[in-house]
Structure 1
Amino acid sequence: MELLISLGMAVSLFLLIYLLLAKKEEAPVTAGKRLHALEKRSSAKDKLLDDLDKPFYQRVLLPLLASTGEKLAGLTPKALQRAVETRLVMAGSTLGTNEFLFIWVLVFILFPVGVVSGMQLAHLPLATVWKAGLICLLFGAMLPFVWLDKKVQARKNRIQKDLPGTLDLLTVSVEAGLGFDGALAKLAEKMKGPLVDEFGRVLKEMRMGVARRQAIGDMGVRCDVPDLSLFTAAIIQADHLGVSIGNVLRVQAVSMRDRRRQRTEEKAMKAPVKMLIPLVFFIFPFLFIIILGPAVLQLMKTTFIK
């Protein structure tokens, strides 16, 4: 009997110690879980605050554009999607293909609806309203693409304008002892603009393992600027033949400045021809009126007096 009591007390003591140790071991796990839960709640709160700090168009409009544009992309031909994507890249726009397609559909619908509604409120004839609606429908379909083309052309003009100065900085950097990659990094540090952004993209692609020829060739195709295409072709040829990059950059910088001077002289030569139309139709008639008007009035007065 005493043996059973002793055995029972030993088992009870063992279970008590085991439970205490188990509870003691579970305490850090529970604390860790609580800390993890607090961190998760804090991160969710911080994310919510960050989302609230963003502008309305970033919190609501851009996600709406993205989700709706994805649905429209399934109904759009692949060729049109590729063409829009290419033009957006050439324009340097932050819009994606889906967002642009959604805006295009929105303008295509809302522009004629707004014009037709306004004309109906003005109580215009129904035939006139329908004709204006069809014309506005056509303009609504063309308007986003016209805006995109203008943006592409403006970016091309900016790249062509910035090219000589950019090449000068690249030439100075390379001749000072920097490599081509270091010169591109220095360029991205010192200058701004679409051409510098393109060179920065070339630098990132080269750091990711893309060959220099391919990265520079892709930039020439992407920008579609004649002067820049000549420069990229010269760099690719120099890299293929092992010619010094510094000499090529120096020659290209001088060539680009000469080409810019020639374009300026060409525009100056075209200016007198362009001035003929306003001179003939808007300036000469008023000069004739001012100069010959008093003589004609005097002649008419003399004739009527006789």
Structure 2
Amino acid sequence: METTFFLIIAVLLLLGAAVGLIIYALNSQKSATIDQRLNTYTEAVKSLDEIELEKPFAERVLMPIMKYVLDIFGKLSPQRNAEQIRLNLQLAGNPYGITPVMFGGMRLGLSIGLFFLFGLITVSTMGFTTNALMYTMIGTILGYLMPGMWLGNQIKKRQKALTRALPDALDLLTISVEAGLGFDVALQRVTDKSDNELSREFKRVLADVRLGRSRREALRDLGERNGVEDLKTFTAAIIQADQLGVSMSKILRLQSDQMRMKRRQRAEEEAQKAPVKMLIPMVFLIFPAIFVVLLGPSIPRFIEAFGG
């Protein structure tokens, strides 16, 4: 009897301790949640200096200095094709906030820097010769062309990212409109669900509409400023549906199906290009290694046989 009594007491104590721990955990979690909610209202507002100091050192110090230097070089360089440079920077998404003047400064600065770099290297190794002058001029021309090549690569990367993101965004947009949401609200839903180049472009469209521009003008500008054919087709279809009063959900469903078909066709095209792209590394890298492994052990015997 005494053993049973002590077991019952022990079980009750353990249950009481477990219940107490559970209540303590729930109360602490609840108080932490309340503290978090209160902090959103009572937390001191950060000053501009504190917000500025939270940024990375490169963004806070190095980038402004670099932009200032590029701006100085840009004012010294000739401003030819400024409008075309502005359009190309827009197609690239205005990377790092570079202006056409800064881009001209980048060209001038790299040209001067590589001129002195190649000049010092070639003169120290070859002396004042024609070859040294030729290599120095090649370095100078390379410095002038490098910003253009970098900008072209940025444009291609951004346009490829927009093209890849469009089918998925259209699927979500179509589902949202078919569920009863308006086009602008559905577009806002797409921007909330993703963070990529296309969602940022959609945010710009919504901002333009809020600032007073018509939806047609904002969509037309979206198609023109990115240079992506699929995006132009999509915006043209939406504008035409808006003008003619056609059901937006049907147009979006048609565009979504068409974009998915194009994505499948592009994937098949890339798959067909794969053997051609693999040919060069196979011929120059894989096959020589295989020949060395297979024929390497027999090479000394061939040398002994023919040498003997």
Q: Same fold (TM over 0.5)?
A: yes
Pairwise mapping of residues 6-85 of structure 1 onto structure 2 (< 5 A)? 55=57, 58=60, 62=64, 65=67, 69=71, 72-73=74-75, 76-77=78-79, 80-85=81-86
Distance 1:159 1:57, change over 3 A: closer
Q: How far has the Cα of 1:145 moved from its partner?
A: 1.0
Residue in 1 aligned with 2:265? 262
- The count of residues paired between Structure 1 and Structure 2 equals 258
* Residue type of the alignment partner of 1:62: P
Quick one: distance in 2 between partners of 1:303 and 1:104? 60
The answer to whether the Cα contact below 8 Å between 1:66 and 1:98 also exists between their aligned partners in 2 is no
Instruction: Calculate the TM-score normalised by the size of structure 1.
Output: 0.72
1:304/1:47 CA distance change after superposition, 3 Å: closer
Alpha carbon RMSD of aligned pairs, Å? 3.2
Q: Distance in 2 between matches of 1:188 and 1:266?
A: 30
Which SS does the other structure have where 1:126 is aligned?
coil
Identical aligned pairs, as a percentage? Answer: 36
The alpha carbon displacement at 1:73 in A equals 4.9
Aligned counterparts of 1:304 and 1:53: Cα–Cα separation in 2: 74
**Unmatched segments (≥5 aa) in structure 1:** 1-45
Specify which of 117, 120, 138 is matched with residue 120 of structure 2: 117
Given the alignment, which residue of 120, 136, 140 partners 1:137? 140
Letter in 2 for 1:197: R
Determine helix, strand or coil for the equivalent of 2:257: helix
CA distance in 1, matches of 2:48, 2:270: 55
* Alpha-carbon displacement from aligned partner over 1:79-108 (angstroms, at most 9, x marks no partner): 611111111111112222222222222112
How far apart, CA to CA, are the structure 2 residues paired with 1:177 and 1:303? 85
Secondary structure of the 1:223 match is: coil
**Shift of the alpha carbon at 1:52?**
6.9
Cα distance, 1:217 vs. partner? 1.3
Aligned residue number for residue 226 of structure 1: 229
2:126 partner letter: L
Provide the residue aligned with 2:219 in structure 1.
216
Q: Secondary structure at the match of 2:195?
A: coil
Q: 1:50–1:98: structure 2 CA closer, same or farther, 3 Å change rule? A: farther
Structure 1 residues 69 and 277: CA distance shift in structure 2, 3 A: closer
Contact 2:173 2:190 in 1 (8 A): yes
Q: Which of 230, 247, 250 is matched with 2:250 structurally? A: 247
Instruction: Give the aligned residue type for 2:71.
Output: G
Higher Rg of the two aligned structures? 1
TM-score by length of 2: 0.72
Cα 1:190–1:47, aligned 2, differ >3 Å: closer, same or farther?
closer
Give, in angstroms, the shift of residue 241 of structure 1: 1.2
Gap runs ≥5 in structure 2: 1-46
Q: Which residue of 2 aligns with 1:205?
A: 208
Measured after TM superposition, the shift of residue 50 of structure 1 is 6.8
